Amino acid sequence: MKLTPFCPVAIYARSGEPDPKSIAEQCAEAIQYARTVLGATATVAYSDDGYTGRTLARPALQTLLHHVWCGHVRTIVVTSPCRLTQVHLDHLRLQSRFEQANAKVVVAKTPFRFPAHLATEPAA
């Protein structure tokens, strides 16, 4: 899948405890993935440092969701599905929002198979 430079790839990082190193590592890994696997030439990073994944009330996540809804972002890269949320019902809510906005989530690495309708994994 190749992207156009007119719609940047969003990188979303989150850490439950304040941990700038973890945020930086997540962003670096996701940016590398976006560039090498997706062919992205433009990325925008959103990060919530010190916010639990058990709520959607996070400043950067809310900004990201607004940008997705406005059509500024069509692809979101995360290093793990739990970066977006740790609550199953919230996964479903986010899935619905992303589908309505024609956006998708790409997991740069994941230890389990993420539902195909919610995330896209690179072809083997």
Neighbouring C-beta atoms of residue 123, cutoff 10 Å: 6
Give CA–CA dist 8/33, Å, rounded.
Answer: 14
Give CA–CA dist 30/43, Å, rounded.
Answer: 10
Give CA–CA dist 89/77, Å, rounded.
Answer: 20
Mean pLDDT, the chain, whole residue set = 87
pLDDT of 3: 46
7-11, 30-34, 46-50, 111-115: lowest mean pLDDT where? 111-115
Global confidence as pTM: 0.82
Question: Domains of the chain (ranges plus CATH)?
Answer: 9-120 (3.40.50.1390)
| Percent share of the chain, pLDDT over 90 | 78
Give the SS3 label for residue 44.
strand
Check: CB of residue 79 under 8 Å from CB of residue 47: no
